[in-house]
C-alpha cells in the first residue's frame, strides 16, 4: 500500500492539485493540516475522490468537522496516527508524539506544522513529517511524502513539488 502524505499547503490549490493528480496510483492521501480550503475545493471538483483523501485539522484550519487526529489501520499490522502537530509542540515534541502513538497502539506518526521534513525512528515509533508543500522552513524545497507499507516494514521517502509534473 502506498500513501501520499502532504501538509501545510496554506491556500496553494495549484500545488495541492498538482501533487494529488501526479500521484493517483497512491492508495490513500493524508493531508496533515493547514489545507482546509484547497482540499475542499479539490474535492468539490473531484467528488469521486473524497474517500481517497483523509485530512486532519491544523492550527490555520477552521472547520470543526475536520478531526484533530485520525487513527488509521494499515496492512501487515501497522497503524498510523495523523495529526497536524501544533498541540504537541512543547517540551520534547518528539516524545509527545511517541506517547501519542503508544496510546493509540500505532507505530507511525504523520504530522505537519513545522514546515520541515522529518523522518526518524524514536523508541520504535516512526515520526514522519512531509515538510510543507508551499512554505518550507528547511534547506529543502516545497515537498510531500510517500510511504509504502510492506510486509517487511515501512518505507518512506520525500518528494519535491518542483519535480512533480503538471497535469
Q: How confident is the model at residue 163 (pLDDT cuts 50, 70, 90)?
A: confident
Across the chain, what does the average pLDDT equal? 96
Checking phi first, is residue 33 left (phi over 0); if not, alpha (psi -120 to 50) or beta? left
Give the integer Cα–Cα distance in Å for 149 and 23.
16
Nearest-10 Cα torsion for 19, 20, 22, 26: 120
pLDDT score at 165: 79
Residue 3 has pLDDT above 80, yes or no: yes
Percentage of the chain lying above the pLDDT 70 cut: 99
- Stated as kind and residue range, the H or E segment containing 14 is helix 13-22
How far apart, in whole angstroms, are the C-alpha atoms of residue 66 and residue 79?
A: 20
Q: What is the mean pLDDT of residues 110-115?
A: 98
Tell me the CATH number at 68.
3.60.21.10
Query: At 164, is the pLDDT very low, low, confident or very high (cuts 50, 70, 90)?
Result: confident
Q: Which residue range is the domain that position 14 belongs to?
A: 2-163
Q: What percent of the chain has pLDDT over 90?
A: 96
Q: Using CA atoms, how far apart are residues 116 and 131, in angstroms rounded to an integer?
A: 4
Choice between 164 and 84, residue whose per-residue pLDDT is larger: 84
- Per the CB < 8 A criterion, the answer to whether 10 and 115 are in contact is no
pLDDT tens for each residue of 40-62: 999 999 999 999 999 999 999 99
**Predicted pLDDT at 71:** 98
Q: Is the pLDDT of residue 166 over 80?
A: no
Whether pLDDT at 167 is above 80: no
Domain count, the chain: 1
pLDDT in tens, 117-160: 999 999 999 999 999 999 999 999 999 999 999 999 999 999 99
Amino acid at each position: 500500500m502506498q500513501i501520499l502524505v502532504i501538509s501545510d499547503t496554506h491556500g496553494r490549490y495549484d500545488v495541492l492539485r498538482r501533487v494529488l493528480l501526479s500521484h493517483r496510483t497512491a492508495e490513500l492521501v493524508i493531508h496533515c493540516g493547514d489545507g482546509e480550503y484547497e482540499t475542499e475545493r479539490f474535492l468539490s471538483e473531484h467528488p469521486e475522490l473524497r474517500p481517497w483523501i483523509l485530512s486532519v485539522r491544523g492550527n490555520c484550519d477552521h472547520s470543526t468537522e475536520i478531526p484533530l487526529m485520525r487513527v488509521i489501520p494499515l496492512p501487515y499490522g501497522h497503524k498510523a496516527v495523523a495529526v497536524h502537530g501544533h498541540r504537541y509542540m512543547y517540551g520534547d515534541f518528539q516524545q509527545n508524539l511517541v506517547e501519542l502513538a503508544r496510546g493509540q497502539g500505532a507505530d507511525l506518526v504523520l504530522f505537519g506544522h513545522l514546515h520541515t521534513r522529518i523522518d526518524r525512528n524514536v523508541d520504535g515509533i516512526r515520526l514522519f513529517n512531509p515538510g510543507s508543500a508551499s512554505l518550507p522552513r528547511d534547506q529543502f524545497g516545497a515537498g510531500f511524502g510517500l510511504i509504502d507499507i510492506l510486509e517487511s516494514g515501512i518505507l518512506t521517502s520525500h518528494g519535491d513539488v518542483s519535480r512533480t509534473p503538471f497535469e
